[in-house]
């Protein structure tokens, strides 16, 4: 495992002004790059920095899910904060794409992240750099509606081709949950022994 | 941006003339036949699950192949956003259903990292032992199944028979044969039952014997070698850029095992084990690497039993688990390859976003490249040797 | 005097013969299917196989399966060529029946003692490929079509080593009649020693091996079962067949296995003969001896079937043309030279 600080400086040096911000998420380096440098980031990562392994590409929607029909005391859905906050290295808006690449020889990895415009969700495709990006970008396209420019064929991967909407966006409701609420946190009554919020010792 | 039309599959607009040098038709143009599109799956014995392969054939030669997945898509990434952390482990048990225990570990580990708690050493050792047992169970099935896919019936039964012993161990410890749901954030549900350690030692002998049987019965068989050697070669560099991981990548000569090379997790830093690679990258080497890894796993389990520490199996954890705001990426070396969870928490009882990085998804995405120019029987060999679980592809 | 020398009208005789032949094929399929497919394979794979039906080690299982198949709905695909589709299983089974016509079970227990018995048996056995091709083509299924074409390619390739393996026997026996070949083995001598006759497996061991390998390919059994190849082609040419038509294929498969085992036993193990036993005793003991020898050969064939993986089609062709046929030709030449020299 390479030292995180040296890794950060190596990556920021190699990427130059493409880097907007960098941070650490529990031992993993997160680097946020400019959207127009997304593909060149991949090229630098693979060819210069030696990150030869593509772990995944995924999207994220930072908008909190709209609360629909939540009644008092209903714990069926874990209540999330209602204001929009962004993760490590920040974000310009609601959508982000993040990708994790690793090196099989240096045994190090980095998560790259870039912002996606909400009105016109377009990202550069990584397929020409990492061929494995093909399916990840197709999945991301159907789940979030991000258009990967330069992808050979953005077809549905998981969902039927007639499917409408982008299921992983936070405003896409999980209908099953709204029709029939989940039992939620049922195990809230005190334990027979009498210990409650304090915690329990499993090995007692 | 939703579209209803399905664009032409890449690879399917291929001009057959470009592949004429592959076909016998080169000798005699009148023999040039039309192409045939063969639909393998979703119900096909070689796809063990619901993978569908649309292959374009010239005679028995595959010109282009397009895997169609999603017949078992369960939307786990969406469902996790509506569950609390303890409930999520129930879901992710079902991703790679042959080694469910190994699926739970990285997620629980991610939650523990965010909560800044650590499971006690005994829990870590038991987790490691059960992870390795899942690996043995998964690989024993593979070792038999691969024989079945190339036409030998008998190894499959031996594989199932010996896997049964391992599943019994997992059941004895966790209560579930396939979906243990045994991990808790901060430790484990229960301690090991009485006599489990002695029983595991016996079973590891059975496993090591089974590996010898497979070495003789399958690896040593000339027809098996003829069917698998130099079939379905993955060059190491290309495999890595496709995200192929685990034994598949090690069989291509890439010496990379997250148990040794990744961020230290579980009890692996305490163990002395060997990582096997094979330079060829073909179907045979994938079988060989998994066979050696099964042996190595059995030895690791024995080491773990010897060094099993005493003590509690659960750290101090609040009754209602709220994970502080933050992000964590935890990857582990699962039987099928790299399994990782990118967990984003916003301080609630449930995760805000979980990206599930499953191994088979990337392993299978290389299929269109691998299947060009092989024969129909080789398609089956390649599918079997890549060893994917549909739940791990479709999530 | 021959105690069995009762005068039977030829019509009745013909009827008896027809009934025997009609009974032998399903019975052979049943016995081989039960002994080897159900029980031997199970025990090789560390399991018991059927244990309940019939009370004793599941002996009734296959009969029950047969009854079940008869009750099943007969499904014909919409796109299928119905007449050809319906005819195909029959063609396969008929070719099996025809082989048994020339196989002797005793000095007089034979339906027809043809002068060209060997030639006839091998000729009618390859009729089944027509049935297989018909089935594959008429099913309107791509898996079935690929399976059928594989079967055709394979049978053409393996007909030749099969024939050449037998040529050695024919040269040694000096006759093509199966009855004559048996007599030659019973009364023959190995370089002057006639203690056990001259079972051709000793002098034609290479031929015996070639015959078994080629028969394995003719029967489309592992390692040459590409036409059915469950894991690739699902079930090859049989994929669309249900109910009693599938049963026909099953009977055809195991009936032909019986026939080839019987042929191998006749050609190489002396058939019904026991050295020194002649006349009525041979007629009475003959069928039993033949069945024992046949089962021994079948054991070998099924042992291989349950152990080996499957070759690929091109590897199979290479094996036939580059290995088996040259060996068979050399074997024929050496046999001829020795025959002329002695």
How many B×C Cβ pairs under 8 Å? 80
Structure confidence at residue B207 (pLDDT): 92
How far is B307 from chain A, CA to nearest CA, in Å?
19
Nearest to B36 among C47, C142, C223 (CB): C142
CB contact under 8 A, B7 and A131: no
Question: E strands along chain A, which residues?
Answer: 19-25, 28-33, 53-61, 95-103, 108-116, 122-124, 147-149
User: Residues in chain A with pLDDT < 50?
Assistant: 1, 196-204
Q: Is B357 helix (H, G, I), strand (E, B) or coil?
A: strand
Residue-wise pLDDT tens digits, B345-365:
888 788 888 999 988 899 988
Structure confidence at residue B290 (pLDDT): 92
Q: Is the Cβ–Cβ distance between C166 and C181 less than 8 Å?
A: no
Enumerate the residues of chain A whose CB falls inside 8 A of the CB of residue B77.
143, 168
Interface test with B, best of C49, C220, C232 (most B CBs within 10 A): C232
> Nearest CA to C138 among C98, C96, C99, C91?
C91
Distance CA C191, CA B270 (A): 73
Confidence band, pLDDT 50/70/90 cuts, at residue B371: confident
Residue-wise pLDDT tens digits, B66-109:
888 888 888 888 888 888 888 888 888 888 888 888 888 999 98
The residue behind tokens 């995944």 is: A56
CB contact under 8 A, C312 and B375: yes
Residue-wise pLDDT tens digits, B298-346:
999 999 999 888 888 888 888 777 888 888 999 898 898 899 999 998 8
User: Measured between CB atoms, does B357 come within 8 Å of chain A?
Assistant: yes
For chain C, give the percent of residues with pLDDT over 90: 1
CB contact under 8 A, B84 and A166: no
Distance CA B96, CA C278 (A): 68
Determine the angle formed by the axes of helices C243-268 and C10-32, rounding to 10 degrees: 100
Q: Is the Cβ–Cβ distance between B276 and B250 less than 8 Å?
A: yes
> Nearest CA to B10 among B390, B387, B383, B367?
B367
Structure confidence at residue B200 (pLDDT): 92
How far is B395 from chain C, CA to nearest CA, in Å?
25
Nearest to B313 among A53, A131, A203 (CB): A203
Residues of B with a Cβ under 8 Å from any C Cβ are: 36, 38-39, 44-46, 60, 147-154, 157-158, 161, 218, 221, 223-224, 226-227, 375-380, 384
Question: E strands along B131-199, which residues?
Answer: 183-184, 187-188
In a domain, B334, yes or no: yes
CB contact under 8 A, C309 and B147: yes
Confidence band, pLDDT 50/70/90 cuts, at residue B38: confident
Neighbouring C-alpha atoms within 13 Å toward the C-beta of B85: 32
Number of domain units in chain B: 1
For chain B, give the percent of residues with pLDDT over 90: 16
Nearest to A58 among B186, B347, B355 (CB): B355
Q: Is B221 helix (H, G, I), strand (E, B) or coil?
A: coil
Q: Retrieve residue A112's tokens.
A: 């790259």
How far is B26 from chain C, CA to nearest CA, in Å?
17
Structure confidence at residue C191 (pLDDT): 65
Enumerate the residues of chain B whose CB falls inside 8 A of the CB of residue A184.
84
Instruction: Name residues 53-82 of chain B within 8 A of A (Cβ).
Output: 69-70, 73, 75, 77-79, 81-82
| Chains with ≥3 CB–CB distances under 8 Å to C | B
Its sign, for the CA torsion C263, C266, C272, C274, is negative
Enumerate the residues of chain A whose CB falls inside 8 A of the CB of residue B241.
46, 52-54, 129-132
Instruction: Name residues 156-175 of chain A within 8 A of B (Cβ).
Output: 156-168, 170, 172, 174
Enumerate the residues of chain C whose CB falls inside 8 A of the CB of residue B377.
226, 229, 232, 310, 312-313
Distance CA B174, CA B247 (A): 27
> Nearest CA to B282 among B386, B394, B145?
B386
In a domain, B344, yes or no: yes
**Nearest-Cα residue of chain C relative to residue B374:** C312
Residue-wise pLDDT tens digits, A23-44:
888 888 888 888 888 888 888 8
Q: Do chains B and A touch (3 or more CB pairs under 8 A)?
A: yes
The residue behind tokens 């006599």 is: B195
In a domain, B329, yes or no: yes
Residue-wise pLDDT tens digits, B157-213:
888 888 999 999 999 998 888 888 888 888 888 888 888 999 999 999 999 999 998
User: Is pLDDT at B3 greater than 70 in this prediction?
Assistant: no
Q: Is the Cβ–Cβ distance between B298 and B206 less than 8 Å?
A: no
Q: Is the Cβ–Cβ distance between C223 and C216 less than 8 Å?
A: yes
Confidence band, pLDDT 50/70/90 cuts, at residue B7: very low
User: Measured between CB atoms, does C81 come within 8 Å of chain B?
Assistant: no
User: Is pLDDT at B26 greater than 50 in this prediction?
Assistant: no
Residue C23 burial (CB count, 10 A): 10
Task: List, as own/partner pairs, every contact residues C25-29 make where C-beta atoms lie below 8 angstroms and the sequence separation is at least 24, other chains included.
Answer: C25/C93, C25/C96, C25/C97, C25/C100, C25/C251, C25/C255, C25/C258, C25/C259, C26/C251, C26/C255, C28/C254, C28/C255, C28/C257, C28/C258, C28/C259, C28/C262, C29/C250, C29/C251, C29/C253, C29/C254, C29/C255, C29/C257, C29/C258
Residue B129 burial (CB count, 10 A): 27
User: Residues in chain C with pLDDT < 50?
Assistant: 1-3
Distance CA B243, CA C201 (A): 57
The residue behind tokens 């669309």 is: C240
Q: Is the Cβ–Cβ distance between B300 and B260 less than 8 Å?
A: no
Nearest to C45 among B46, B157, B376 (CB): B157
Nearest to B326 among A26, A81, A184 (CB): A26
Nearest to B44 among C223, C225, C234 (CB): C234
How far is B154 from chain C, CA to nearest CA, in Å?
6
Structure confidence at residue A109 (pLDDT): 87
CB contact under 8 A, B325 and A85: yes
- Count of helix runs (H) and strand runs (E) in chain C: 15, 0
Residue-wise pLDDT tens digits, A128-146:
888 888 899 988 898 888 8
CB contact under 8 A, A56 and B314: no
Instruction: Name residues 122-181 of chain C within 8 A of B (Cβ).
Output: 142-143, 146
The residue behind tokens 């399916």 is: A135
**Nearest-Cα residue of chain C relative to residue B224:** C309
Distance CA B369, CA C76 (A): 37
Nearest to A200 among B75, B77, B319 (CB): B319
User: Measured between CB atoms, does C225 come within 8 Å of chain B?
Assistant: yes
Q: What is the CATH number of the domain that holds B124?
A: 1.10.645.10
In a domain, B163, yes or no: yes
Q: Which domain holds residue B144?
A: 85-363
Enumerate the residues of chain B whose CB falls inside 8 A of the CB of residue A65.
81
How far is B87 from chain A, CA to nearest CA, in Å?
9
How many residues are there in chain A? Answer: 204
Nearest to C308 among B223, B375, B378 (CB): B223
CB contact under 8 A, B226 and C311: yes
How far is B351 from chain A, CA to nearest CA, in Å?
8
What domains are there in chain A, each with its CATH number? Answer: 4-63+87-179 (3.30.460.80)
How far is B60 from chain A, CA to nearest CA, in Å?
27
Q: Retrieve residue C270's tokens.
A: 């002396």
CB contact under 8 A, C229 and B151: yes
Per-residue pLDDT, averaged over B230-244, amounts to 88
Distance CA C81, CA C89 (A): 14
- Count of helix runs (H) and strand runs (E) in chain B: 15, 8
Its sign, for the CA torsion A27, A28, A34, A40, is positive
**Degrees (nearest 5) of the Cα angle C154, C160, C164?**
145
């Amino acid at each position: 495992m390479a030292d995180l600080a040296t890794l950060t400086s190596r990556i920021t040096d190699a990427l130059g002004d493409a880097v907007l911000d960098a941070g650490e998420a529990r031992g993993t380096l997160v680097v946020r790059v400019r959207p127009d440098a997304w593909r060149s980031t991949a090229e630098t990562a693979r060819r210069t920095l030696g990150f030869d392994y593509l772990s995944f590409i995924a999207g994220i929607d930072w908008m909190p899910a709209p609360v629909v029909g939540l009644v008092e005391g209903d714990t069926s859905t874990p209540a999330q904060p209602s204001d929009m906050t962004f993760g490590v290295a920040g974000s310009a808006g609601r959508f982000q794409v993040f990708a994790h690449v690793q090196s099989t020889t240096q045994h190090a990895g980095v998560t790259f992240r870039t912002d996606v415009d909400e009105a016109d969700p377009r990202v550069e495709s990584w397929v020409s750099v990492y061929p494995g990006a093909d399916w990840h970008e197709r999945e991301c396209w159907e789940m979030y509606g991000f258009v990967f420019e330069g992808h050979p064929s953005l077809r549905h991967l998981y969902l039927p081709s007639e499917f409408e909407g982008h299921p992983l966006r936070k405003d896409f409701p999980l209908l099953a949950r709204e029709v029939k609420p989940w039992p939620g946190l049922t195990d809230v009554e005190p334990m027979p022994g009498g210990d409650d919020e304090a915690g329990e010792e499993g090995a007692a | 941006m939703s579209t209803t039309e399905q664009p032409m599959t890449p690879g399917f607009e291929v001009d057959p003339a470009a592949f004429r040098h592959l076909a016998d038709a080169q000798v005699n143009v009148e023999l040039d036949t039309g192409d045939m599109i063969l639909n393998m799956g979703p119900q096909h014995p070689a796809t063990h699950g619901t993978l569908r392969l649309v292959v374009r054939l010239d005679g028995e030669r595959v010109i282009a192949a397009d895997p169609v997945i999603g017949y078992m898509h369960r939307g786990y990434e969406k469902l996790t956003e509506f569950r609390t952390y303890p409930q999520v482990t129930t879901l992710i048990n079902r991703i790679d259903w042959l080694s469910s225990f190994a699926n739970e570990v990285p997620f629980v580990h991610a939650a523990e990292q965010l909560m800044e708690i650590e499971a006690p050493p005994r829990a870590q050792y038991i987790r490691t032992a059960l992870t390795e047992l899942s690996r043995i169970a998964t690989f024993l099935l593979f070792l038999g199944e691969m024989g079945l896919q190339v036409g030998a019936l008998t190894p499959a039964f031996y594989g199932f028979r010996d896997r049964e012993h391992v599943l019994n161990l997992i059941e004895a410890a966790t209560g579930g044969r396939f979906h243990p749901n045994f991990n808790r954030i901060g430790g484990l549900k229960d301690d090991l039952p009485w006599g489990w350690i002695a029983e595991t030692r016996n079973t590891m002998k059975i496993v090591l014997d089974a590996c010898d049987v497979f070495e003789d019965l399958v690896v040593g068989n000339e027809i098996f070698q003829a069917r698998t050697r130099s079939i379905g070669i993955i060059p190491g560099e290309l495999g890595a850029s496709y995200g192929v991981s685990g034994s598949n990548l090690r069989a291509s000569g890439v010496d990379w095992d997250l148990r040794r090379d990744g961020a230290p997790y579980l009890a692996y830093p305490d163990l002395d084990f060997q990582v096997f690679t094979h330079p060829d990258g073909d179907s045979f080497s994938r079988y060989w690497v998994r066979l050696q890894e099964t042996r190595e796993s059995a030895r690791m389990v024995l080491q773990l039993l010897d060094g099993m520490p005493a003590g509690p199996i659960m750290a101090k954890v609040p009754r209602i688990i709220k994970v502080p705001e933050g992000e964590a990426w935890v990857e582990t070396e699962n039987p099928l390859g790299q399994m990782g969870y990118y967990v984003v928490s916003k301080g609630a009882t449930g995760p805000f976003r979980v990206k599930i990085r499953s191994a088979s998804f990337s392993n299978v995405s290389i299929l269109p490249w691998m299947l060009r120019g092989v024969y129909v029987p080789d398609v089956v060999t390649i599918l079997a040797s890549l060893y994917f679980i549909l739940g791990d592809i479709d999530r | 005097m021959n105690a069995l020398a009762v005068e039977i009208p030829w019509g009745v005789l013909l009827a008896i013969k027809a009934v025997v032949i009609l009974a032998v094929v399903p019975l052979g399929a049943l016995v081989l299917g039960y002994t080897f497919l159900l029980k031997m394979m199970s025990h090789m794979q560390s399991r018991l196989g059927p244990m309940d039906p019939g009370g004793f080690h599941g002996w009734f299982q296959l009969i029950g399966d047969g009854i079940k198949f008869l009750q099943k709905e007969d499904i014909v695909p919409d796109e299928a060529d119905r007449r050809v589709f319906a005819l195909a299983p029959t063609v396969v089974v008929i070719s099996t029946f025809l082989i048994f016509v020339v196989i002797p079970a005793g000095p007089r227990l034979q339906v027809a003692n043809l002068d060209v018995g060997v030639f006839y048996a091998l000729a009618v056995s390859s009729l089944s490929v027509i049935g297989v091709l018909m089935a594959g083509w008429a099913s309107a299924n791509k898996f079935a079509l690929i399976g059928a074409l594989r079967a055709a390619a394979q049978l053409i390739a393996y007909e030749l080593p099969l024939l050449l393996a037998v040529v050695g026997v024919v040269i040694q026996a000096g006759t093509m009649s199966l009855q004559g070949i048996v007599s030659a083995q019973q009364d023959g001598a190995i370089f002057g020693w006639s203690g056990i006759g001259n079972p051709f497996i000793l002098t034609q061991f290479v031929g015996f091996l070639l015959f078994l390998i080629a028969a394995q390919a003719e029967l489309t059994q592992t390692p040459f079962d590409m036409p059915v190849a469950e894991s690739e082609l699902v079930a090859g040419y049989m994929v669309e067949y249900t109910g009693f038509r599938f049963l026909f294929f099953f009977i055809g498969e195991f009936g032909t296995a019986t026939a080839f085992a019987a042929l191998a036993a006749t050609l190489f193990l002396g058939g019904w003969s026991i050295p020194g036993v002649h006349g009525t005793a041979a007629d009475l003991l003959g069928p039993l001896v033949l069945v024992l020898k046949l089962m021994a050969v079948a054991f070998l064939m099924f042992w291989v079937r349950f152990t080996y993986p499957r070759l690929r089609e091109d590897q199979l062709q290479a094996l036939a043309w580059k290995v088996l046929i040259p060996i068979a030709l050399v074997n024929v030449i050496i046999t001829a030279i020795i025959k002329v020299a002695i």
